[in-house]
């Protein structure tokens, strides 16, 4: 039995040390897994306020009532864990042992806890002493925390925490849960399970305490920081879109205003433009909006003004950043909302009144397309991409609008080359697609000439 100390006993002691560190340092906001050789550089960096954790054996003896000094792997304890400036570093060499011990401890605690509870009709009732259940709940939360830091996408472990937290939700406990997922996302920003659990916690807070104003603001800023570190992070932006459900009108306008600067600096990231479209859609659906003169940085709140502002801003970006597809995708959605708004404002019987509005819209779009097709060629083929996106955009518009002679497409375009030629020249590899799409359109549209 004496041989049992390695590796099983070693893994248990490592887990207890790891959990002890997490208990003693509540302000840890980032975790990293590094090679043991990198610890020397961290220990020598005088600019960092760090804790060597060299007194672990004494702390372990007092807290756990066991002797850790005899474990040989702890003699080089300075290359196992490192803590400084609220950052925790873990040696990659001990991760397998930690994971093994944390998984076994969690499974054992969860198994015993399920024996104490009886789930019926969605309600949990205890069949035994409450004190024993509370002890096991603490074990589940403690072991699952360690396991999730090592394996963020372990879905059943997140569910174990939900099982415990759903019994008696407490605001402070739920806020701590947000901090745990924040810690996990600091090094695994695309963990779907962590983002999903974060939404579950926010829903619990909304159901129990209702006041989400500050939480939503902090969540949005948190996603922004994650997006800066992890490019094209769909899961993070999807979480931010979900937050819109809990935003008031002021927050939505504020988010629309703040995300504008970020979008200008990341014109290739379609996620931010998708987020803006979701905000605009929610604001368009509220007919009670009024312009707030006390906040001049906000957009005009009337639905028409809101779309006009976004279309003008998008046009500016298209001309400034040539060939960026995300900007054209954003414009396509905005144009769809605009055309839908025009159609809703004028019923079918008032088609003659609708035609001038459509003509005005098409005139502005053709002017934009004309300017985009005249960019000089460059070594990166951005001008060619701009021409392709412009031609594809006009093709999309021609399929969205029911054409009639009153729209006078031909009069809005100066003859310089037909749509088919532009599409074939800019993307010949898609010639079969263009042939098929153009064959489905009336001859009047296929012969549209663009300057």
User: What is the tens place of the pLDDT at every residue in 375-395?
Assistant: 777 777 888 888 889 888 888
Question: Taking the domains of the chain in order of start, what are their residue ranges?
Answer: 1-148, 248-345, 363-451
* Rounded Cα–Cα distance for residues 235 and 219 (Å): 14
pLDDT for position 142: 95
Distances (CA, A) of 362 to 166, 225, 315: 55, 39, 14
pLDDT for position 209: 78
- Cα dihedral across residues 380, 386, 387, 392: positive or negative: positive
Rg (CA), the chain: 30
Task: Name the region of 86 (left: φ>0; alpha: ψ -120 to 50; beta: rest).
Answer: left
**Model-wide pTM > 0.85:** no
Q: With contact defined as beta carbons under 8 Å apart, do 274 and 308 qualify? A: no
pLDDT in tens, 189-240: 999 999 999 999 999 999 887 778 889 999 999 999 999 888 889 999 999 9
pLDDT for position 103: 96
Taking CB atoms within 8 Å and a gap of at least 24, the contacts of 91-97 are 91/33, 91/34, 91/35, 91/36, 91/39, 92/33, 92/34, 92/35, 92/36, 93/35, 93/36, 94/14, 95/33, 95/150, 97/7, 97/10, 97/11, 97/14
pLDDT under 50: residue ranges of the chain: 1-5, 52-56, 59-60, 63, 68-73, 75, 119-123, 125-128, 290-291, 293, 296-300, 349, 404-405, 413-416, 443-451
For tokens 């970006």, the residue is 317
Average pLDDT, the chain: 79
Distances (CA, A) of 138 to 29, 99, 112, 147, 279: 22, 19, 12, 14, 40
pLDDT in tens, 90-121: 999 889 999 999 999 999 999 988 888 764 33
- Residues 6 or more apart in contact with residue 356 via CB below 8 angstroms: none
- 84 DSSP 8-state letter: E
pLDDT for position 414: 43
Beta partners for residue 91, in sequence order:
34
Nearest Cα neighbor of 315 from 386, 227, 416 is: 386
pLDDT for position 187: 92
């Amino acid at each position: 039995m004496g041989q049992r100390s390695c590796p099983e006993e070693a893994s248990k002691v490592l887990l207890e040390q790891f959990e002890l560190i997490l208990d003693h340092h509540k302000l840890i906001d980032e975790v990293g897994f590094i090679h043991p050789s990198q610890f020397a550089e961290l220990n020598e960096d005088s600019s960092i306020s760090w804790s060597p954790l060299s007194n672990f054996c004494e702390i372990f003896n007092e807290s756990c009532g066991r002797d850790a000094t005899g474990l040989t792997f702890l003699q080089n304890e300075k290359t196992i864990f490192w803590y400084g400036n609220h950052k925790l570093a873990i040696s990659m060499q001990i991760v397998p042992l930690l994971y093994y011990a944390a998984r076994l401890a969690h499974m054992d605690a969860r198994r015993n806890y399920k024996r104490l509870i009886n789930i019926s009709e969605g309600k949990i009732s205890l069949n035994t002493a409450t004190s024993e259940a509370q002890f096991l709940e603490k074990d589940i939360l403690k072991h699952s925390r360690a396991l999730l830091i090592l394996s963020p996408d372990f879905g059943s472990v997140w569910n174990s925490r939900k099982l415990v937290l759903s019994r008696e939700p407490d605001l402070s406990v739920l806020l701590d849960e947000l901090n745990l997922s924040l810690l996990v996302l600091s090094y695994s920003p695309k963990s779907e399970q962590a983002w999903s659990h974060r939404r579950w916690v926010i829903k619990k807070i909304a159901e129990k305490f209702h006041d989400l104003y500050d939480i939503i603001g902090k969540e949005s800023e948190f996603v922004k920081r994650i997006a800066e570190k992890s490019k094209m992070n769909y899961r993070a932006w999807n979480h931010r879109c979900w937050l819109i459900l809990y935003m008031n009108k002021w927050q939505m306008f504020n988010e629309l205003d703040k995300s504008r600067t970020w979008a200008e600096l990341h014109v290739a990231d379609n996620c931010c433009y998708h987020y803006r479209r979701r905000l605009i859609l929610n604001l368009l659906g509220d007919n009670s909006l009024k312009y707030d003169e006390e906040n001049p940085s906000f957009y005009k709140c009337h639905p028409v003004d809101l779309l006009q502002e976004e279309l003008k801003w998008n046009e500016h970006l298209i001309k400034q950043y040539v060939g960026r597809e995300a900007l054209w995708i954003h414009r396509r959605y905005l144009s769809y909302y605009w055309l839908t708004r025009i159609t809703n404002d004028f019923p079918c019987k008032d088609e003659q009144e609708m035609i001038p509005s459509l003509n005005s819209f098409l005139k502005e779009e053709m002017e934009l397309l004309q300017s985009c097709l005249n960019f000089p060629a460059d070594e990166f083929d951005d001008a060619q991409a701009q021409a392709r996106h412009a031609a594809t955009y006009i093709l999309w518009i021609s399929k969205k609008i029911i054409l009639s002679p009153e729209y006078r497409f031909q009069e809005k375009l100066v003859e310089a080359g037909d749509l088919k030629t532009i599409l074939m020249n800019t993307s010949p590899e898609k010639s079969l697609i263009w042939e098929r799409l153009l064959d489905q359109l009336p001859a009047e549209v296929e012969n549209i000439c663009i300057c």
